[in-house]
Amino acid sequence: GTPSAEELLRGLDPEQLEAARSVRGPVCILAGAGTGKTRAITHRIAYAVATGVVPEQQVLAVTFTTRAAGEMRGRLRALGAPRVQARTFHAAALRQLSYFWADAVGGPRPTLIDSKIRTVASAARSCGFQVDRSELRDLATEIEWAKVTQTRPVDYENTVAKEGRTPPMPPRDVARVYEAYEELRSEHNLLDFESMLELTAAMIHERPDIAERIRSQYRYFVVDEFQDVNPLQKLLLDAWLGDRDDICVVGDPSQTIYTFAGATPAYLTGFREAYPHATFVRLVRDYRSTPQVVRVANTVLRAAGSGAAPREHRIELVAQRPDGPEPSYTEYDDEPAEATSVAGKISALIDSGVPAREIAVLFRTNAQSAAYEQALGDAGVPYTVRGAAQFFDRPEIRAALHTLHGAARGDDGAPMVATVRHLLQPLGLTEQPPEGRQAREKWESLAALAQLAEDVAAQRPGAGLADFVAELQARAATEHAPGFEGVTLASLHAAKGLEWDAVFLVGLTEGMLPIVYAETPEQVEEERRLFYVGVTRAREHLHMSWSLARSPGGRRTRKPSRFLDGLRPESPSPAGRRGEPRRRKDRVLRCRVCGATLLEAAERKLGRCLDCPSPYDEELLERLRQWRREVSAAQKVPAYVVFTDATLQA
Ligand code: ATP
Ligand code: MG
């Protein structure tokens, strides 16, 4: 049954309780990772609904990712508030804009673009610039930054000079591409995310009647991950609020990871000035992770420069959970070896009872995903890449969207499902699934699309093809692939706010994390916060790894990330890497069969090498334990130090 109001409060600690009970007026929860911020606001909403103070349809909870929105809706449903809207800024804006489009804007509906790359490429070409893919990506990010910070093309040069930014091209050239991009966009009736937010905010400002309708619909606002709100999102939030102050924000300045894209923690840290009468809550108990993981997180926090998290906002997390396995640090010769080993460890975890959906592999750049997709595929482990957008990025789905979009122009409103099936047939939606893995996968995604058409028709009888296409566009921009559960492969950015039993942080080398183009100290600090976000996703198992070469036999030129300094046993001290170099050779235990580096804690639990996997003999284990006891007693080194065969025999 639905929990009662009292039951909703029972699962909270005193500080969370204070936040939950402050149902009206401004509330700010500023706290570290895993301290239950999201849980506190979810219970706060459910409590407010259960006590009747707030009608559930009038709550808008804004989350950072679609996955987080989905999880919050799930939690709210379980807590008896199924009708609360939990959405990203984008999804919420898109709904409002589509709803009022005809009335407020008029004309043909624009095509929503979730990536700027193609349009930026055309814009750069039209200005006569030769740019490669990575420059294009940087340009797209820069244009995004300009739009998010409300910098128009004409002001761009000045703003950049004032802010001391280092744009990917001379500012004058960026401004030209930016202007050409905006022209192309309006010429082809394309709408990007920033313009979507801007248009929605403008609509509310310019049309008091629409503002009134939106404001009577939404009265209570909750914003998760408020440290990464950007000026444009803040503008929209203020438009929603009008002169009211029923707003609850939660965030962690140490997890600010989007300043590169124009976000700023200043709205969070400055909440007190904006709302002096706000209820302020701090949380320090870490409910998510084991003490072993929390120790790593605290070490990373201590190493962080002031940057986005001024001293008064810094905290030490206090672990609440029982002990778990020690985090592991593993070095590999090359990337495929790293991926294969990680896939092997994941298989072993699944065999030991950890569900696949409770495991994640997190990396800095999406390009790193491929090696893991391959390795997990080879190991027969189900996985899903990033969750979001992926489904709509598949070539067959893109082709299908194109076809449906074209057909929707001549939509005569006839029972829609049959039309969709008919249109998908030539693309490969046969009656029976075809043979062969690739053909079958393609068929399955088309079938999923047809199923979606049925769902839409069931929910909205009378929906035509144009409605279905509009729905698809909205989903492509904001939602997940239809349900599938496996190991998550995600970028660190996409992992924010989420948690898994086991987390593999891979590719931890200089150049990857911090990423090679993080040049200024501020950029490096943002990379460090990204590492902190990664570490704090793990409930129990935290495996960190890196490889020295890109491919087998390649030159081993890579270095482990500086963020591992002071964490991994053989690393130099964090203070400038000047500590006395330890002889690594003495500290590595290799599997006698495959030669892989063994990490004591994890191996001991499983009783075998995770790489080959050969049994780990009892005699070796015993000697290892003995050494560990002696060394930790003598030198107070962390318990996860490992030793070579040679040392053991000494
Ligand atoms: P992040 O900064 O990563 O977003 P968060 O502060 O939002 O983290 P939550 O996701 O709300 O943290 O909580 C982390 C985990 O701890 C969740 O699994 C949650 O259910 C659990 N948790 C939170 N508060 C409590 C509590 N009072 N008692 C028991 N478990 C809790
Ligand atoms: Mg959270």
**For residue 373, how many other CB atoms are within 10 A of its CB?**
16
Q: Give ipTM to 2 decimals.
A: 0.99
For 200, residues 6+ apart whose C-beta sits below 8 A from its C-beta are 93, 96, 97, 236, 239
Most trustworthy range by pLDDT among 159-168, 322-331, 393-402 = 322-331
The atom number, within ligand 1, closest to the CA of 40 reads 11
For 589, residues 6+ apart whose C-beta sits below 8 A from its C-beta are 597, 598, 600, 624, 642, 643, 644, 645, 648
C-alpha of residue 37 to centroid of ligand 2, in Å: 5
Spell out which residues have Cβ within 5 A of ligand 2, the ion. 37-38, 497
Protein residue with least CA distance to atom 23, ligand 1? 36
Ligand number, closest to the Cα atom of 19: 1
Protein residue with least CA distance to atom 30, ligand 1? 287
- By most ligand atoms within 8 Å of CB, the mutation choice from 15, 39, 540 for ligand 1 is 39
Task: Give the annotated binding-site residues for ATP.
Answer: 31-38
What's 312's DSSP letter?
G
Contacts of the segment 618-622: beta carbons below 8 A, 24+ positions apart: 620/648
Position 265 pLDDT exceeds 90: yes
5-94+197-283 carries CATH number 3.40.50.300: yes
Residues touching ligand 1 (Cβ under 6 Å) are 11-13, 16, 31, 33-39, 252, 255, 287-288, 497, 499, 536
- Looking at residue 313, its pLDDT comes to 57
| Half-sphere CA count of 138, side-chain side, radius 13 A | 14
Position 62 pLDDT exceeds 90: yes
pLDDT digits 0-9 by tens, 170-197? 999 999 999 999 999 999 988 999 999 9
- Looking at residue 620, its pLDDT comes to 61
The atom number, within ligand 1, closest to the CA of 16 reads 27
d(CA 591, CA 413): 66
C-alpha of residue 224 to centroid of ligand 2, in Å: 7
pLDDT digits 0-9 by tens, 400-433? 888 888 888 776 667 788 889 999 998 889 888 8
- By most ligand atoms within 8 Å of CB, the mutation choice from 38, 64, 250, 321 for ligand 1 is 38
What's 61's DSSP letter?
E
User: Is the bond into 382 cis (omega within 30 degrees of 0)?
Assistant: no
Q: Are 631 and 587 in contact (CB under 8 A)?
A: no
- Looking at residue 584, its pLDDT comes to 34
In the three-class reduction of DSSP (H, G, I as helix; E, B as strand; rest coil), residue 257 is classed as coil
Position 631 pLDDT exceeds 60: no
C-alpha of residue 6 to centroid of ligand 1, in Å: 19
CA dihedral (120, 121, 127, 130) in degrees, to 10, reads: 140
Q: What is the DSSP string of 490-535?
A: EETGGGTT--EEEEEE---BTBBTTBTT--SHHHHHHHHHHHHHHH
d(CA 296, CA 286): 13
Q: Where are the alpha helices (DSSP H) in 129-207?
A: 133-148, 153-163, 171-187, 193-206
- By most ligand atoms within 8 Å of CB, the mutation choice from 288, 300, 498 for ligand 1 is 288
pTM over 0.80: no
C-alpha of residue 288 to centroid of ligand 1, in Å: 6
CA distances to 400, 407, 425 from 466, in Å? 14, 8, 19
Ligand number, closest to the Cα atom of 32: 1
What's 310's DSSP letter?
-
Cα 280–Cα 285–Cα 325 angle in degrees, nearest 5: 155
d(CA 247, CA 278): 9
Ligand number, closest to the Cα atom of 283: 1
d(CA 54, CA 220): 8
Strand order of the β-sheet with 220-223 is 85-88, 59-63, 220-223, 247-251, 27-31, 279-283
